[in-house]
Amino acid sequence: MSKDNDEQINIESAWKDAHDFDPKDPLFGLTRDEMSGTDLSRRATLRLLAAGGALTFAHLIPGSGATRLAQAADAGGTLNCGWAGVGEIVTLDPAQINQVLQFQITSNVYSGLMHINADLVAQGDLAESWEVSDDGKIYTFKLREGVTFHNGDAFTADDVLYTFDRSKDPEQSIHSKVIANVANLEKLNDHEVRFTLNKPQASFLPKALERASGRAMTIVSKGGIEALGLAQYGLTPIGTGPFKVTEHQLGQGVVLEKFEDYFDSERPLLDKIIIKPIDGPEPLAAAIQAGDISYIGGNPVPAQLVERFQSNPDLTVDIKPAPGFQSVWINPWREYMQVSDFNKPVEELKKEKGFMVRLALAKALDRELFVKQALFGNGVPAYGTINPAMGYYYDEKIGESSEQAFDPDGAKALMASAGYPDGEGFPELELITTPSQKRYGLVLANIYKQVLGITVNVVPKEFSVGIEDFNKNDYDLRLGGSGGDYDPDDGLVDWMITDSKFNGPTRDKAKHPFGFFSEAEVDAVIAEESVTAEPEARKALVQKANAITSNKVACGFLYHPVDVQVYHNSVNFPDESRIPGLHDFDRVSIKT
Amino acid sequence: MQTEATLETPVHRQRENRLRATLAKDRKAQFGVVVLGLFIVAAIVAPWIAPNDPNEMTLDMMNPISAAHPFGTDDLGRDLLSRIIFGTRISLFIGFSTVIIALIIGVTLGIAAGYYGGRLDFIIMRYIDLQWAFPNFIIAVYLVAVFGTGLFNIIAAISLAFIDDFARVTRSMTLSIREEQYVDAARTMGFSNIRIMFGHVLPNAMAPIIVQATVSVSYAILAEASLSFLGLGVDADTPTWGLILADGRGFISQAWWLGVFPGLAIMLVVLSINFIGDWLRDALDVRQAI
Amino acid sequence: MGIYLIRRLFGAVLVMLAVATLVFFMLRIVPGDPIAAMLADAGGPEEVAILKQKMGLDQPLVVQYFKWISNMFQGDLGSSIYGSRQPVTQILLEALPRTMSLAFISFVIALVIGIPAGIISAMRRNTPTDTAVSMFAFLGLSMPDFWLGILLIIVFAANLQWLPAIGYVPMSEGLWAWFSHLILPSIAVGTAFSAIIARMIRSSLLEVLRADYMRTAASKGLPVKALMLNHAFPNAMIPVITVIGIAFALLISGAVVVENVFAIKGLGRVLINGILNRDYPVVQGAVLVVSAFFVFSNLLVDVLYGVIDPRIRLS
């Protein structure tokens, strides 16, 4: 009784404390210690959560270890998972992974130095603690001791160095750019390493060192790679994570089994996880309804199935904002919508015919209708790269303030001033989508027809073909975007700066000085925010950059996806493992 | 001239009479002719009989069968009956046009190979043998991958895939016909090779070619449907039965009509054509297993 | 026979070589860049260049071609340029048992349905039974196989829950597990083939029954059953063997589509995925293996034909 009362009082005081901050600077009054350490301190985390409006009482319940102990009784069992929208899991080698659905699996097999938690805050994984120098350029990590790989090798600082050397070599890893800012990595002793950065980087912990989405510093096993060879390692890799891969046949699936020597003896709870790739919505629905699988991972659950799953009393459906965005990319080098220089005030730009069309194409996006018709309601209108899953950095008012906000009359007027009243005289445009997003494209084409009177032809192309056209600026419109964006840099640095990796990397540079967008102020603000460690200052810069890209139409921002988690009621999936976009099974159990 | 006419007319008249006589007795063939006829009419007058614009989207998504939507609506709120009626145009167009193209090329190759023989025959037949090593559908898949998708490319891919069938049939017929007396006669009268091939040999080789063509139309329609299903189909907005089925397959258990009606349309047309093919095979006395 | 066989074998190898050459060069005019796909998430032009160099994609086509051919003769078909870079030979070896299992069960289902249906309809010619069989055959031939597959999943897996919806389980995990996963896809693939068999058997039986020697045998008063078994059936099987050659084409074409419905990673799926991913080595390898089956099954049919009916060999 009294214990319960104490707990109640503790929760209330924590709640009060978390909300007791200057809204402009939620971290004011916290020490640097509370920002470094084993993780962002509990106080810092709670404040950030409260500032982002994401704090709930569930976060405050102390001793979550107690609930975990209670669940330990449910240890054991096999979890059958279906991986949606994919025919085969081609690789589990972090150096080659280029799909979210792949690192969803590897997050259970490998460890990194850091791993984000359910609130997208980086926590120590193999890093026990760390210190950041005052200039933000030197990170010293104390590594966990007594950690072993699945093959029995001990984990030491040498493995961090081996992974680093492998990942920074573009011949061996496709993620070398992720750690391009690291000037030097040194081993201090067997369980201490020190990273020296070229310049400070706010996203260093949650992006470069993240075990799932980061990939560059997901710790691989030298012994494993040498013993198995690259191809086999890509199928049955060896890591230090909670589960080991015991079987992997392309197209048939992956079998994970409990790693008995995982560094946390309380995890994992499950004995075995069987992951089957399932292509197509109907087979997926059939499989979970028939009980062949009891958990869905992989590509997003097809929108048309969500309502059906929600109405099934055997299933739990949990919907959260997903870390990503999707846009209509508008080629600024097409004659009838050309914008060759974005470095002018918006009012100036609005006097150019090319920009009028560009803005009209963005303004005409009836995002509410799109979400209803294409996504069956499962999405959030987007006006920038910063997504609602980021909580703290997300700008909830951007939908009202952006030049891109849906305005059919404004869009029509712009087309008319550009010389195309009711779309007359405007050429037909091609919209490139992937085959699975084709119906999204059809909805967009319909919206453009209704609002602007122009004809847009949807051209579904395989991802490999479409991205090639996009990279060399050979497209009119393209539907596409990003996923796994946990840090603002995943949206801003990867997409919005002049030399971002998708900004026309293979274009004819003599003809086109940039790909889809280039703006000096955006470049400068992003350069500044990415080295600003202080959250409130960074937030202001992030939102500033986000607003400019929105107003100057870096693209027609369309929607932020939602993360729909679907599992059988027999599965016990704790909140602390509910990381949007990922499926971490180390704390998951099956109810008996 | 006189010779030519007297040599041909009896064959034609005989054939026509036989066709008419057998059709009168063949219920399946009658069914096939009527149903295919109805589909062809529907294709021609589609804009007048379709209740809606086939591409008009509404928020009435996956609505079941009703008076307003006799076949229900699809995942984007479009009227399914209208889409199927318009789909008749494309599916039949692809079916017939591919076969006509394949027939023209294949027959030309086959007749030239069979008539001239020698090195030309050798070269043509090596190519035909090569293509023969693959099933038609696999070739179509591969060619679409090379050409890309789109109405024109699909037609090109399916047509090319069917060439070998026509070339083989025509060549084997030509080989036997070229030894016939009337061909010798034409040769001694000094007719040009082209004239003999297309004026004398071809008319007498037509029966199996017609049967082959009929069967091929149904295969072409099925091939188009399968290509769409694999993501190698016609453009995104053009309603074809294959595409409607492919697009609907993600919604089939919530909206069974999306999976049933386009499939039924395919089946009815293919069935009709097969009935007609069977009748022609009997009536024209074509023995080859095609 | 020996010379005939050697000549045919030589021809088959030539066809295979031609197929290989054609496939190699045509694939390289396919739009789409596998490296771009692989680096979609990270990497600029420099990384692309490095990777291309590493995989030999920067060399002249002719050089790549001869390298590929010479490796092929050593059983090395290269590696997938996508993801795990699995050796193509390994991918194909893994896919092979799946497609062979699917083809085998489809074949069995087709024979089990097709042969009795054909015999019955021939013996009861022009009765309602004959009409029913022929209607079934027509429907089987007119139904898109993937549509049938989807309908089967909805009825037997999702609603009745009698059979698994999708996937493949190797025989090592139990005979029933293996078989139960193959039933629905095999029906989808085999239905069209059973229709062909039924029609073939019917017409060839009728033909044989009309033949002179059968009339003679019948006039000698041999019982109908003995007649069918000892005379009609063996003779009627000759055209059926040709159909078995065609069967393979049908089964593989069917498998390409139906493997996609049932998420079975067989040869067909390997081929289609390869094409969609522009994974040259995989497509090359898959096409090669698939066409090898056609060329050699045609060869086998011809040889069998010669064994059964020596007249054909001579001509």
The enclosing domain of A335 has a CATH number of: 3.10.105.10
Q: Tell me which chain C residue has its CA closest to the CA of residue A435.
A: C276
CB-based contacts of B44: which residues, under 8 Å, 6+ apart? none
Domain containing residue B166: 26-48+70-289
* Same-domain check for residues A381 and A280: no
Q: Could you give the C-alpha distances from C124 to A403, B275, C134, C202, in angstroms and in order?
A: 78, 20, 12, 10
In this complex, the residue of C138, C146, C242 whose CB is nearest that of residue B274 is C138
pLDDT, tens digit (0-9, with 9 covering 90-100), for A393-422: 999 999 999 999 999 999 999 999 999 999
- Cross-chain residue pair B133–C294, CB shorter than 8 Å: yes
What confidence score (pLDDT) does residue B188 get? Answer: 86
pLDDT value at A334 more than 90: yes
DSSP sequence for A497-565: STT-TTSSTTS-TTT-SSSS---HHHHHHHHHHTT--SHHHHHHHHHHHHHHHHHTTSSEEEEEEEEEE
Radius of gyration over alpha carbons of chain A, in Å?
A: 24
Q: Within a domain: residue A88?
A: yes
Tokens of B55: 């591409």
The pLDDT of residue B82 is: 95
pLDDT tens for each residue of A214-248: 889 999 999 999 999 988 999 999 999 999 999 99
| Residue A291 DSSP SS3 | coil
> For residues A48 and A205, what is the distance between their CA atoms, to the nearest angstrom?
16
A200-204, A430-434, B236-240: range with lowest mean pLDDT: B236-240
Instruction: Supply the mean pLDDT for chain C.
Output: 78
Instruction: List the single residue in C144, C243, C295 with the smallest CB-CB distance to B266.
Output: C144
Residues C203-225: what's their mean pLDDT?
72
Q: Which helix (H) or strand (E) holds A483?
A: strand A477-483
Does a structural domain hold residue C48?
A: no
Domain presence at residue C57: no
Kindly report the nearest CA distance between residue A274 and chain B, in angstroms: 24
In terms of domains, do A555 and A476 share one? yes
Residue A315 has pLDDT above 90, yes or no: yes
Size of interface B-C (CB pairs under 8 A): 108
Q: What's the pLDDT score for residue C311?
A: 54
Does B59 map to a domain? no
CB-based contact, A282 to chain B, within 8 Å: yes
Query: In chain A, which residues have their Cβ closer than 8 Å to the Cβ of B250?
Result: 280-282, 302, 304
Q: Which residues of B touch A87 (CB under 8 A)?
A: none
Q: List the single residue in C with minimal CA-CA distance to B282.
A: C203
Tokens at A1, concatenated: 């009784």
Residue C106 lies in a domain: yes
> Average pLDDT in the B242-254 region?
80
Shared domain check, A298 and A367:
no
Q: Please tell me if residue B190 touches chain A, with a CB cutoff of 8 Å.
A: no
Query: Does C261 have pLDDT greater than 70?
Result: yes
- What's the CA angle centered on B30, arms B28 and B35, to 5 degrees? 95
Question: Which of B235, B236, B250 minimises the CB distance to A304?
Answer: B250
What local confidence, expressed as pLDDT, does residue C202 receive?
85
For chain B, which chains pass the contact test of at least 3 CB pairs under 8 Å? A, C
How many H helices and E strands in chain C?
14, 0
- Report the pLDDT averaged over residues C45-66: 73
If we measure between CA atoms, which residue out of A239, A146, A160, A221 comes closest to residue A195?
A: A160
Inter-chain CB proximity A304 and B231 less than 8 Å:
no
Do A586 and A556 lie in one domain? The reply is no
Q: What residues have CB less than 8 Å from B152, skipping those under 6 apart?
A: none
Verify cis geometry, omega within 30 degrees of 0, for the bond prior to A381: no
Q: Residue A350 above 80 pLDDT?
A: yes
- Say whether residue C253 is in contact with chain B using an 8 A CB cutoff: yes
User: C147, C199, C257: best mutation site toward chain B, by most B Cβ within 10 Å?
Assistant: C147
- Looking at the predicted structure, is the pLDDT value of residue A21 above 90? no
Q: Do the domain assignments include residue B158?
A: yes
Domain with A530, as residue range(s), is 324-563
Contact A458 B75 (CB under 8 A): no
A515 and A581 share one domain:
no
How many domains does chain A divide into? 3
CB A384 within 8 A of CB A550: yes
Q: Provide the pLDDT for residue A46.
A: 54
Q: What is the pLDDT of residues C74-92, one digit of tens each?
A: 888 888 776 556 788 988 9
Same domain, A12 and A52: yes
Q: What is the mean pLDDT of chain B?
A: 86
Share of chain B above pLDDT 70, in %: 94
Q: Do B252 and C252 touch (CB under 8 A)?
A: no
What is the end-to-end Cα distance of chain C in Å, rounded? 12
Q: Hey, are the CB atoms on C37 and A464 less than 8 Å from each other?
A: yes
Please indicate whether, in this complex, the C-beta atoms of B236 and A458 are within 8 angstroms of each other: yes
Mean predicted confidence (pLDDT) in B108-128 = 91
Residue-level pLDDT at B255? 85
User: Domain containing A585 — which CATH number?
Assistant: 3.40.190.10
What pLDDT sits at residue A578?
A: 92
Is A69 inside a domain boundary?
A: no
pLDDT at A39 over 60: no
Name the least confident of A33-42, A44-53, B189-198, C181-190.
A33-42
Q: How far apart are CA A81 and CA A298, in angstroms?
A: 9
Report the chain C residue with the minimal C-alpha distance to residue B257: C151
Q: Which of A304-308, B10-14, B38-42, B254-258 has the highest mean pLDDT?
A: B38-42
CB contact set of B266 (below 8 Å; sequence gap of 6+): B91, B221, B222, B225, B241, B242, B245, C142, C143, C144, C147
Residue A329 and residue A394 in one domain: yes
| Chain C residue with minimum CA distance to A88 | C265
Band (pLDDT 50/70/90 cuts) for residue B231 is: confident
Q: Tell me the residues of chain A between 486 and 515 that have a Cβ less than 8 Å away from chain B.
A: none
Is residue A474 classed as helix, strand or coil in its secondary structure?
Answer: coil
The pLDDT value recorded for residue A86 is 81
pLDDT digits (tens, 9 = 90+) for C19-41: 888 878 877 766 656 555 555 54
Token code pair at residue B181: 């007396």
Q: Which residue of C has its CA nearest to A504?
A: C44
Of all residues in chain A, the one with the smallest CA distance to C279 is A464
Do the domain assignments include residue A67? no
- Cβ neighbors of A257 (< 8 A, separation 6 or more) are A243, A244, A246, A271, A272, A273
C-beta atoms of A438 and B247 within 8 A: yes
Residue of A232, A464, A475, A507 to mutate for C, most C C-beta atoms under 10 A: A464
State the pLDDT confidence band at B10, using cuts at 50, 70 and 90.
low
Nearest CA in chain C to B288: C239
- Contact flag A373-B57 (C-beta cutoff 8 Å): yes
Distance from C172 to chain B by nearest Cα, in Å?
A: 31
**Tell me, what's the pLDDT at A61?**
41
Q: What residues in A contact C84, CB-CB < 8 Å? A: 90-93, 96, 231, 234-235, 250
Instruction: Report DSSP state, residue C41.
Output: S
Least confident of A23-27, A235-239, A369-373: A23-27
CA distance C137 to A422: 55
| Residues A485 and A555 grouped into a single domain | yes
- Please tell me what DSSP assigns to residue B191: -
Q: For chains A and C, what is the number of CB pairs under 8 angstroms?
A: 157
- Residues A519-533 have pLDDT tens digits of 999 999 998 988 887
**Residue C63 within any structural domain of the chain:** no
Q: Is residue B150 part of a domain?
A: yes
Is residue A72 assigned to a domain? no
* CATH number for the domain that contains residue B192: 1.10.3720.10
CA atoms within 13 A on the CB side of A464: 22
Quickly state the pLDDT bin for A271 (edges 50, 70, 90).
very high
Helix axes A408-417, A353-363, angle to 10 degrees: 160
Q: What's the whole-number mean pLDDT along residues A163-188?
A: 90
pLDDT recorded at residue A66: 33
User: Does residue A301 sit at the B interface (CB-CB below 8 Å)?
Assistant: no
Question: B198 — contact with chain C (CB < 8 Å)?
Answer: no
* Helix (H/G/I), strand (E/B), else coil: B280: helix
Q: Are the Cβ atoms of A445 and B237 closer than 8 angstroms?
A: yes
Q: Measure Cα distances from C53 to A237, C56, C58, C85 in Å.
A: 26, 5, 5, 15
Q: Region B245-256: what's the mean pLDDT? A: 80
Is residue C100's pLDDT more than 70? Answer: yes
Say yes or no for a CB contact (<8 Å) between A175 and C87.
no
Instruction: Quote the domain boundaries for residue C283.
Output: 95-312
**Window B:82-141, CB contacts with C under 8 Å:** 126, 129-130, 132-138, 141
Question: Is residue A297 located within the same domain as residue A404?
Answer: no
Write down which chains contact chain A via at least 3 CB pairs under 8 A: B, C
pLDDT at position A252 is: 77
Do C42 and A174 make contact, defined as CB atoms within 8 angstroms?
yes
The answer for residues whose C-beta is within 8 angstroms of residue B194's C-beta and 6 or more apart is none
CATH of the domain at C138: 1.10.3720.10
By CA distance, what is B61's nearest residue in A? A373
Among C19, C256, C291, the residue with its CB nearest the CB of B141 is: C256
Judged against a pLDDT cut of 50, whether residue C263 lies above it is answered with yes
Instruction: Tell me which residue in C143, C257, C298 faces B267 most closely, judged by beta carbons.
Output: C143
Instruction: Render A36-57 in DSSP notation, one character per residue.
Output: SSSBS-HHHHHHHHHHTT---G
* Nearest Cβ partner for C32 among A253, A462, A505: A462
Check B61 against A373: CB less than 8 A apart.
yes
Window B:269-288, CB contacts with A under 8 Å: none
pTM higher than the cut 0.80: no
Report the distance separating Cα C5 and Cα C9, nearest Å: 6
Across A21-35, C208-222, C266-280, the highest mean pLDDT is recorded for: C266-280
Weakest-pLDDT range from A62-66, A99-103, B249-253, C15-19: A62-66
Q: Which residues of C touch B256 (CB under 8 A)?
A: 154
CA nearest to A506 within chain C:
C45
Q: Which residue has the higher pLDDT, B129 or A566?
A: A566
User: What pLDDT is attached to residue A422?
Assistant: 93
Is the CB of C251 inside 8 Å of chain B's CB atoms?
Answer: no
Measuring CA to CA, which residue among A255, A285, A303 is closest to residue C166?
Answer: A285
Identify whether the C-beta of residue C23 lies closer than 8 Å to the C-beta of residue C283: yes
Enter the tokens of residue A484: 């796994």
Q: How many domains does chain B have?
A: 1
Q: Does B187 touch chain A (CB under 8 A)?
A: no
Is a pLDDT exceeding 60 seen at residue A41?
A: no
| H-type alpha helices, A111-249 | 157-168, 222-228, 230-235
Cα-trace Rg, chain C? 24
B226·C145 Cβ contact <8 A: yes
Q: Is the pLDDT of residue A29 over 70?
A: no
- Whether B12 is covered by a domain: the verdict is no
Query: Domain total for chain C?
Result: 1
Kindly list the residues from chain C whose CB atom is less than 8 angstroms away from the CB atom of residue B133. Answer: 15, 19, 291, 294-295, 298
pLDDT over 80 at C2, yes or no: no
Pinpoint the alpha helices (H) of B150-201.
Answer: 151-177, 181-188, 193-196
- Residue A201 has a pLDDT of 85
pLDDT of residue C41: 44
CB contact (8 A) between residue C153 and residue A286: yes
User: Which residues of chain B neighbour C161 with C-beta distances below 8 Å?
Assistant: none
User: Which of A122-136, A213-227, C99-113, C204-218 has the weakest average pLDDT?
Assistant: C204-218
